[in-house]
Homo-oligomer: A and B are copies of this chain.
Amino acid sequence: MRNLFEVDAWKIMEHGFDPAKQQHAESIFSIGNGVFGQRANFEETYSGASLQGSYVGGVYYPDKTRVGWWKNGYPEYFAKVLNSCNWIGINIEVDGELLDLNVQKPRAFYRELDMQKGILTRRFKVKFSQGKELQVESLRFCSMDNDEIAAIKFTVTPLNFDGNVKFTPYLDGKVHNHDSNYDEFFWEEDSHKVDVQKGYLCTTTKKTKFSVATAMRFSFWKNEELLTIHPNCHARAFYVENNFEHFLEQGNSYVLKKYVSVVSTVHHSETSVIPRAINHVRDAYTSGFDVLRSAHESAWKKLWEKADVVIEGDIASQQGIRFNIFHLYQTYTGKHAQLNIGPKGFTGEKYGGATYWDTEAYCLPFYLKTADPEVAKQLLLYRYNHLDRAIENAEKLGFKNGAALYPMVTMNGEECHNEWEITFEEIHRNGAIAFAIYNYVRHTGDASYLMEKGRKVLNAIARFWVQRFNWSKAKEKYVLLGVTGPNEYENNVNNNWYTNYIARWCIQYALDCENSYAASSKAQLSRQEIEQWTKLVDAVYLPKLEGTRIFLQQDGFMDKEQRTVADIPAAESPINQHWSWDRILRSIFIKQADVLQGLYFFEDHFDALTIQENFDFYEPKTVHESSLSPCVHVVLAALIDRMDKAYELYLRTSRLDLDDYNREANEGLHITSMAGTWLSLVEGLAGVRIGQNGLTINPKIPKSWNVYRFQVLYKSQPVRIEVNHHKASILNAGNVPLKISVKGKMYTLEPNESIIS
């Protein structure tokens, strides 16, 4: 696979401008701060193909779902994260001619995303039709220090002339979602105001009535000298601007520093967003660009101290893993319980920026091991806060007595997916949400969350499962009919092993918690429930291939034509681009880990032979056409010592977007799968587990790497791990002793003590 951008340990770099790559680059170079984010669109006008995108976390529109014939239980709407006010805009004009890289082809174009510092830089030279040449540099960031602030430093230098240049910084709220189902415009204007060197715009979403206030201020400099200017103020509905012409002298740099504040009713009251945005941007203006930038860079520095992974000897892998970690923290920082992690973060519109089970299955372990427990806890609280909605959701489907079915896709707790065929029956999501509670407790040791809040979620989920199973007279077992497993290349199957297994586990876990806490807290389950659940757990049907250790993905799996991925002609791969949907459905091919997802979650329930036999059965049938698939296979492959396979699949996931394997990064990045990449490395290659037996490490290293090192948090204590081809070093960097198993041997490490194994 070609590298589309230059390879560097900390930077993504692009020399030379290729309009065909622009939309992909807009995704790759996106910046964000967990609260809002911005694709790497140009500040100045760009008339070429572009996906202009500015997104504010939690601000969504309930776009009417597209279905042929609507049926009961279908969601009424598909929640769209909204493309909101364009705050980066700065137009430049020379002799009435707009700067537009689709018109004036740039020279010496350079774009850089410094992941260590979170700064996006762009530089180029350009010649206007009358021969006048400018050098332009822009530098911008969304502050990690103050997540309602962004700043841009836009520098123009006339290279071969003295003369007037017109500058127009503006805010534009007339922004459409590219993925609107019915071409609706989603915004109304609340108000706007413009004044000299400042202005604001407040827009409100139709129906959901989220308001976003965006305020700007700017200053104008000649080299280091602040200039006094007299701009024209102009405003209309959804738009405010200042414009001014200035006489530039050749060889001098003229700098427009634009400060922006983005404040929404996701976090503040309706009446406060405008004053807050105005105050914020005034403070930012007063502090100045360098002060803001320095605070922003310090915030990133703190994050990297905990989260960085260093790989020596393979710079592409080094860049890849940092790119993933960088975007994960740009998307979610854990500061706000209203927010979650959209599959494309703030980098695109597809999948609507909503919350999927990806959060619990893939992202949570990343935050558990790289951030303070509070961050992961916010993700749990998000679901806890939605419990009532999950109960309502189950009621709509005919369930009773407080049974909860969490949505497959949500913004506010309501189900809001975009189609029936795949998502509707993926009730396994409920299992991942219960598993997240268990996972949180074993990582952090924080049982108080479980006691106070977790059990309520757990019991409600268990109640759903208990009602959803039915007794099969034919099988004399409890069965789960009409589900879709994680493998979305199946639909409406019976007895998906993964779903049955995790459902049974949920019920058992709820019973175990009831037992454990019955003494110390009030009973939450009735005696009848305990009896019924216990009986059910003992008689859940789990399909298995007779005479083997293989768990069958679902009933009827062995009726399929038995083929392997090697049988698919190259010209027909990926099958989702070449085969009809019905053919994919009845084929044996698996989109993403399904039985193996269960073995990954519940690794300690199975012996090595079972894992190996299932891996060997399913891996050859898996086409990995979901970005969330390879990571689970990497972890299991490493576990059973298939390092070549593990590394092959690791490469596939680690640079998925950077190298645009699926040719769709132009639509946005695969944010949640980035957590999967990190899992592949830490749980897969490095063999780090926090399971029944505490922290265990069984590290391996790919041939092409010299050494790699990273830190994980275990019970809030940092543990530093370094692996090379000869040894692994484990350092307890915390302040309490830790028991750690390394390569099968148990050690007790005092603070600051390390072992080399």
By the criterion CB–CB under 8 Å, are B424 and A581 in contact?
Answer: yes
Name which residue of chain B comes closest to A471, CB basis: B561
Whether A96 sits at the interface, judged by CB under 8 Å, is: no
Which of the residues B421, B494, B558 comes within 8 Å of A473, measured between beta carbons?
Answer: B558
By the criterion CB–CB under 8 Å, are B582 and A482 in contact?
Answer: yes
Q: Which residues of B contact A182 (CB under 8 A)?
A: 182-183
By the criterion CB–CB under 8 Å, are A73 and B580 in contact?
Answer: yes
Whether A527 sits at the interface, judged by CB under 8 Å, is: no
By the criterion CB–CB under 8 Å, are A559 and B481 in contact?
Answer: yes
By the criterion CB–CB under 8 Å, are B425 and A582 in contact?
Answer: yes
Q: Give residues of chain A (163-202) contacting chain B, Cβ–Cβ below 8 Å.
A: 182-183
Whether A739 sits at the interface, judged by CB under 8 Å, is: no
Q: Which residues of B contact A581 (CB under 8 A)?
A: 71-74, 420, 424
Query: Which residues of A line the B interface, CB within 8 A?
Result: 65-69, 71-74, 78, 182-183, 396-398, 417-422, 424-425, 470-475, 479, 481-482, 491-495, 555-556, 558-562, 576-583, 585-586
Q: Which residues of B contact A582 (CB under 8 A)?
A: 73, 397, 424-425, 482
CA distance A491 to B78 in the complex (A): 23
A559-B494, A577-B72 known; A586-B67 Cβ under 8 A: no
Which of the residues B67, B425, B472, B491 comes within 8 Å of A558, measured between beta carbons?
Answer: B472
By the criterion CB–CB under 8 Å, are A68 and B69 in contact?
Answer: no
Q: Which residues of B contact A420 (CB under 8 A)?
A: 68, 420-421, 581
Q: Which residues of B contact A396 (CB under 8 A)?
A: 580
Shortest distance from the beta carbon of A628 to any chain B beta carbon, whole Å: 16
Q: Which residues of B contact A74 (CB under 8 A)?
A: 581
By the criterion CB–CB under 8 Å, are A583 and B73 in contact?
Answer: yes
Which of the residues B183, B398, B418, B585 comes within 8 Å of A68, measured between beta carbons?
Answer: B418
Q: Which residues of B contact A474 (CB under 8 A)?
A: 558-559
CA distance A425 to B494 in the complex (A): 18
Q: Which residues of B contact A73 (CB under 8 A)?
A: 579-583
Q: Which residues of B contact A68 (CB under 8 A)?
A: 65-67, 78, 417-421
Shortest distance from the beta carbon of A185 to any chain B beta carbon, whole Å: 15
By the criterion CB–CB under 8 Å, are B66 and A67 in contact?
Answer: yes
Shortest distance from the beta carbon of A11 to any chain B beta carbon, whole Å: 35
By the criterion CB–CB under 8 Å, are A555 and B558 in contact?
Answer: no
CA distance A577 to B71 in the complex (A): 8
By the criterion CB–CB under 8 Å, are B558 and A482 in contact?
Answer: no
CA distance A576 to B70 in the complex (A): 11
Name which residue of chain B comes closest to A67, CB basis: B66
Between A69, A418, A424, the greatest number of chain B beta carbons within 10 A of the residue's beta carbon is seen for A69
CA distance A68 to B581 in the complex (A): 14
CA distance A570 to B492 in the complex (A): 28
CA distance A66 to B183 in the complex (A): 13
By the criterion CB–CB under 8 Å, are A560 and B481 in contact?
Answer: yes
Between A425, A473, A580, the greatest number of chain B beta carbons within 10 A of the residue's beta carbon is seen for A580
CA distance A581 to B182 in the complex (A): 24
CA distance A397 to B65 in the complex (A): 26
Shortest distance from the beta carbon of A428 to any chain B beta carbon, whole Å: 14
CA distance A556 to B65 in the complex (A): 32
Name which residue of chain B comes closest to A561, CB basis: B470
CA distance A702 to B74 in the complex (A): 43
Q: Which residues of B contact A577 (CB under 8 A)?
A: 72
Q: Which residues of B contact A578 (CB under 8 A)?
A: 72
- In the A-B complex, the 7 residue pairs with the smallest Cβ-Cβ separation, listed nearest first, are A68-B419, A73-B580, A482-B586, A68-B418, A474-B558, A71-B581, A66-B66
Q: Which residues of B contact A417 (CB under 8 A)?
A: 68
Shortest distance from the beta carbon of A354 to any chain B beta carbon, whole Å: 13
CA distance A471 to B558 in the complex (A): 10
Interface pairs (18), CB distance under 8 Å: A65-B68, A66-B68, A68-B78, A68-B420, A71-B421, A72-B580, A73-B581, A182-B182, A398-B580, A420-B420, A421-B421, A424-B581, A424-B582, A425-B582, A470-B560, A479-B559, A482-B585, A555-B555
CA distance A420 to B582 in the complex (A): 10
Q: Which residues of B contact A481 (CB under 8 A)?
A: 556, 559-560, 586
